[in-house]
Amino acid sequence: MKDENDQDIDVEVKFTVADVRRVLDLKDSDDDPIIILERLSKGLWFRIGYTGHMNDKYLNFRFCRPYKFMVHCVVQALSHRKGVFDETSDYIMNIITCLVLNRPYNISQVIFNHMVDNIKGEKYIMYPRFIQMLLDDQVPNLPKDSADELKLQHMSSETLNRLNKYKGLTEDQEPRVKGMIGKIKNQNYIAP
């Protein structure tokens, strides 16, 4: 930032899990789990039509179309990676499981942990839009250069067409379309 004499000044900011929760308006709590039973996640993935091996990489194209789109959206919005968006991490599996089954999950803690891990490593800063929201919250008059803004790209028909295709699979190899279950089918769904 600049002071009244147009000199650069440093501004220290500190973020906590509570800041992430408040600024991103996540409705979780510190008491919610960040790890879901593997059996629960894998069982759900089979119920929603996943056709791959469950002890290998979780590949998005192995879902039926409706769930493939949901997985794609969650991975794009919440993955801490810079690339490899065709694979789904364990923590993304947990998020999807909790979304579908309407179970509590401490997503704020997961996002915060990945932010901290990325600072310690040599990776590019992940979650840039979340970090910008946190900065805007703590430093409200932070000057911005519009040339430095990351532009969000909305889904195009080309992206939707890519999501609708299965990588080199013949029609009989495509995952069967499964009916929606859990919270995404019934708003009043309560996990057993």
pLDDT value at residue 169 = 64
Q: Residue 92, Cβ neighbours under 10 Å: how many? A: 21
pLDDT value at residue 30 = 95
Judge whether residue 112 has pLDDT over 80.
Answer: yes
Range with the largest mean pLDDT of 16-20, 81-85, 188-192: 16-20
Query: Position of tokens 């990776």?
Result: 123
**Token code pair at residue 2:** 């600049």
The more confident residue out of 119 and 38 is 38
Contact call for residues 102 and 189 (beta carbons, < 8 A)? yes
Helical spans, DSSP H, in 3-156: 17-23, 38-47, 65-78, 90-101, 107-120, 128-138
Amino acid identity for residue 148 in this structure: D
Judge whether residue 145 has pLDDT over 70.
Answer: yes
**Token code pair at residue 188:** 């009043």
73: left (phi over 0), alpha (psi -120 to 50) or beta: alpha
Judge whether residue 53 has pLDDT over 70.
Answer: yes
Judge whether residue 186 has pLDDT over 70.
Answer: yes
| Segment 8-21 mean pLDDT | 88
